[in-house]
Structure 1
Amino acid sequence: MSLHETYYRLLILFAVVYPFLIFPFGTVYYTTVNKLVFLIVFVSVGWIIYMKKCNHSQVPPKILLESTGGKLAFLFFGLVFLSTIFSMDVASSFIGSPREYNGLLSWYGFLSMFIFTYHIIKSNQKYAVRIITAIVWSATIISVYSILQQLNLHERMPFQKSWGLFDNPNHLGTYLVIMVLLAFTLLLMAGNKASITVYLGIILVLFLALFYSGSRGAWLSVAICMVLYTIVVWPKKYLWKRWGVILASMLIAFSIVNVVEGGVISNRIESITLDIKSIITEDVTNQEAEDAGSGRWGIWKKTLPFVKENILVGTGPSTFSQLYYSGEEAGGLDNSHNDYLEIAFSMGIPALIVYMMLLFTVIKKGYRAAGKSDDSGQIFIYGLLITVIGYLIKTNFNISTIAVGPYFWVVLAVLYGYAGRESFVSPESGKNV
């Protein structure tokens, strides 16, 4: 079995099993440590297999230097490592905070997933759709469970917001942003009525779970990306009916759920505009602005000055609580609820610049490839691009987490690896068409 075939099979296993690594005792399924350990073991095994099969002793490994994205990922990790060495709390920066565990180890896992996945997609295009399909099907099971939680059919406790197999509704929302957008892509690519029907059903399940997560940032991300999908579909008249059915079905699902829940969802959607208004009209006495976005606006305002105080290497990954509470008794916050702000103050401006360069490199390559691809390939690439954009919008309100981060880096790598190819693999047959 080739190196890429070995890693492909392991990646499918990872994609399917990873969300189910829960500790099902107590009032909340605590998942973060389980998933961190599994992620680190998984990528470490990948590096061992690579080194053994390729007999490489080169430092850094050649696999890191074969693409611009790989070089930027390696450079970014180097900056995270440097920030950890000079951290105000080295142990916390290495492992992460006791609740999120989003330190150097997590970035080692995320970036390794990106490198390995990119190389298997580059080696064999047919893996791309298969990986995305496996991820979406796994998410469907989790979404069904999330809906059952909200309907109080879970025997252990009632729920106000569903969290699925995650330990936070916002994490579920971030996860479902990726999954809903990928499911849109698979439906638009589907080649027969049976597949169209199946994926429409999957989308509705994912969509209901997304509502029940209660994550307004996730709702906003998906709404913006639906506009982007509409722009993609507009020149393709043969997709108008299919996309119209999707939009109509989602509108009906929203209306039913909103009525059943007594207008709670529409009220939360309305609160987004109220929060924006309070921020725009903010003055020194306006407490509503401080509380906007469930308190995020106030957190961002207090955190922003830390950036210019720690420009080069930051304060170290996962040091938010030490910095935010400034030696006082720690409160409940352990992150800034904004991925870009988190990187800027904790790892430094150079790290943020390299991170953005990596994202821009992949997005630019994907956008250029979409213009050169055939019709089906174009849909797939645009779908991956929109999924990446959706996640990046959502992480304006949350940081990358152990539970969800690996899926984003896999999608980013699939886009990067697939974008250089002009042929297309059908999800129905797995053969070039």
Structure 2
Amino acid sequence: MRTIDLRGRELSPAGMLAAVPRATQARAEALETATRIVDDVRDRGEAALREQAERFDRVTDHAVRVPAEHLTEALASVDPTVRAALEEAIVRVRQGSEAQVPAPQITEIGPGARILQRWQPVARAGVYIPGGKAPLASSVVMNVVPAQVAGVQHIALASPPQADHDGRIHPTILAAAALLGISEVYAMGGAGAIGALAWGVPTIGLDPVDVVSGPGNNFVASAKRAVAGVVGTDSEAGATEILIVADASADPRLVAADLISQAEHDEQASAVLVTDAVELAEQVAVEVDRQAAATRHSERVRVALDGPQSAIVLVDDRAMATAFSNAYAPEHLELHLVDAEEAASAFTSAGAVFVGDQTPVSLGDYMAGSNHVLPTGGQARYAPGLGAYTFLRPQQVISYDREALASVREGVVALANAEVLPAHGEAIEARFTA
């Protein structure tokens, strides 16, 4: 991992953003490629999907619309321990998601005048589950459960076909879908799957969805940008990010382990340590080298850690570390600080904040009850992670009786005339003239 030394520098907010390690060129290239793939699916439908499956997944002649028996067989054969873990994750994520559904509220503006604020679920959601380098069965839980809690009636799930499984979706992903009662499943991956969910593919019975959600690599995230405006999307949950803010009290072994845990997702994954403790930084660098060499996906980890998106960042003090973290706006933020609980409130921009060295990101990936589909690429400055609210639309229902309308009659007419929109005022007056 490279080292970025910011000590002794006075950085403006713009300067802090410029110092953030990002693989910007890779993201720009991903958007260009993803847009072409999405457009191809829009124009050629199933034929494009099959060509993409052959090119990217090494699969031909597979069932794009997954037969029901594939789901049944996967659930029957899943390891009992894995099934129990999925069932527990479902319970926990359902609890966390239920807190995200607002209750309807009525505001009495005046006598006979009220506004009902309600949250309506979308009719149809499409969820994307990665299955390339890692078959993310946990992402089935993270996407489907919030949609179900929100009240979505129709959920379509897409995941890449697997050459190692005769063109089927990974069986653990299918088992998780079956556990949740999802029967509309498609074996299609990457940016093409996002395009298919957004535009629909009549020949396989896929109708367009209203919202697309789910994590993936930078191509999947870019595909969401390409279909924005056609459908709603969650935040662009692209290649994973972890930023750890640590002080001298941190355990370098745990810091290194957590950096590596996210680096194993993808060669484009970002792993960043921010600290004012030089000795800790040196110890973490040694631990990263030692642990990375021993882990199963060591080559993938090494590429991610050596990339421009990963670094050890040296800062002067806690204030600078906080400012850097808020500028970076990481997907996952871990606080390895002596006063982590008290310090957490200052870290305002992050997809999710993991407080203390006993709350690793890995916990959030599976069993914390929080959602692991989170904004990347700095979007946590303005965008939330996935939740039940992703599938809800706030809607106002306005109700005035005649007396209530009469009380604002003069004001509405005055404003309409001031804006040179007299018909607006005339629509009010029509209710008070014979």
More helix by share: 1
TM-score calculated relative to the size of structure 2: 0.26
TM-score calculated relative to the size of structure 1: 0.26
More strand by share: 2
